[in-house]
Amino acid sequence: MAECLARDLFDDSITVQSAGSKPSHVNPFAIAAVGEIGLCMGGHVSKNINDIDPTGIDLVITLCAEEVCPVFYSKAKHLHWSLQDPDRKNENLSDAERLAHFCVTRDEIKSRLIILGSDTLLEPKTVK
């Protein structure tokens, strides 16, 4: 979801990559949650952090809370957004309840990305 949201918000102005320490599949509830706001995750695949080349990475954002965050070795700036896994695999939830958790997480990620984009635009420029 984070990759899809960032690509939508920032267009081609930045390169966005998403990966995890234990990739498996793109969750159907993630697909449904972004679909509710008119986005499509077609073509998105679950990727391993080891498949990302650390050169040229300016910013790493980790989203893990209760699980172990993947380690990404790079000199890039690092932000940590502690967000509970919306899938909540250990909870007995209906599909509607599970989707609701994904929608909350979607909205939280989108809000933080908007703030991040605003902060970046407000940074003072170096005058030569």
Residue with token string 């030569």 = 128
Per-residue pLDDT band at 126 (split at 50, 70, 90): very low
Helix (H, G, I), strand (E, B) or coil at 122: helix
What is the total count of domains within the chain? 1
How far apart, in whole angstroms, are the C-alpha atoms of residue 102 and residue 86?
A: 5
| Contact of 52 with 62, CB cutoff 8 Å | no
Kindly give, in sequence order, each residue whose CB lies less than 8 Å from that of residue 71, ignoring residues fewer than 6 positions away: 21, 49
pLDDT, tens digit (0-9, with 9 covering 90-100), for 43-93: 888 888 888 888 878 888 988 877 677 777 778 888 889 898 898 888 999
Task: State residue 120's pLDDT score.
Answer: 63
47 found inside a domain: yes
CATH of the domain at 13: 3.40.50.2300
Look up the domain containing 96 and give its range: 2-122
pLDDT at position 124: 34
Position 128 in a domain? no
Classify residue 23: in a domain, yes or no.
Answer: yes
